[in-house]
Chain A
Amino acid sequence: DTEVTQTPKHLVMGMTNKKSLKCEQHMGHRAMYWYKQKAKKPPELMFVYSYEKLSINESVPSRFSPECPNSSLLNLHLHALQPEDSALYLCASSTQPGEVRYGYTFGSGTRLTVV
């Protein structure tokens, strides 16, 4: 299995809703990432998990809450989002933190719309 699976593919949520994005990989990668991407822009790093521990938080608002239950799963919990949070949310993984010889493996993303 050489892929990262993200669910759901599309999500529409109200500003008072609580929802979660899920990401799963079975490649044995020990670094996992959440990115946010707006239209026609490159991805912006949000969080980095290294060996299931949060190692980088790029000053992301607390309405985004990441969780890494085990080495294969990564969640992003969403609460009280704003319309400007609408974007494509991408999960990625790499063999180890700092190991970029093989590039990152990205999921297909969750298209989030906040209404």
Chain B
Amino acid sequence: SQQGEEDPQALSIQEGENATMNCSYKTSINNLQWYRQNSGRGLVHLILIRSNEREKHSGRLRVTLDTSKKSSSLLITASRAADTASYFCATTMDSNYQLIWGAGTKLIIKP
């Protein structure tokens, strides 16, 4: 079932610029994950942030989590054409380890 909302639904930026996507959710969570999906193929796990963490970095990715606002953001710095994809957030709750997915953001990087 879908719990989260992501915004924007679509984002188009120039190569080299930073891209920021946001995810909001409705219930208490155990952790929040971000996945990338290229052209309707499989999803690739990017990064996971736990509910007791506020910020996490992995390469050009920076994820923040604000549990008081029930929201997270994914920042991709110095974007590249290869970053063109759909990005989904997914949460898990303590009571249920299933992934609850956001609606996704379609990111287009223009050369």
Query: Please, how many residues of chain A have a CB less than 8 angstroms from a CB on the other chain?
Result: 28
Query: Please, how many residues of chain B have a CB less than 8 angstroms from a CB on the other chain?
Result: 23
* Docked-complex contact B48 and A106, CB < 8 angstroms: no
- Closest Cβ neighbor of B48 among chain A residues: A103
Interface: A13 (CB within 8 A): no
Interface: B72 (CB within 8 A): no
Write the nearest CB–CB distance from A7 to chain B, whole angstroms. 13
Docked Cα-Cα span, A92 to B106, in Å, equals 22
Interface: B79 (CB within 8 A): no
Partner of B48, one of A6, A101, A109: A101
A and B contact pairs by CB, cutoff 8 A, 14 listed:
A42-B90, A88-B40, A88-B41, A90-B42, A90-B43, A92-B43, A100-B33, A100-B48, A100-B99, A102-B45, A103-B33, A106-B43, A106-B44, A109-B41
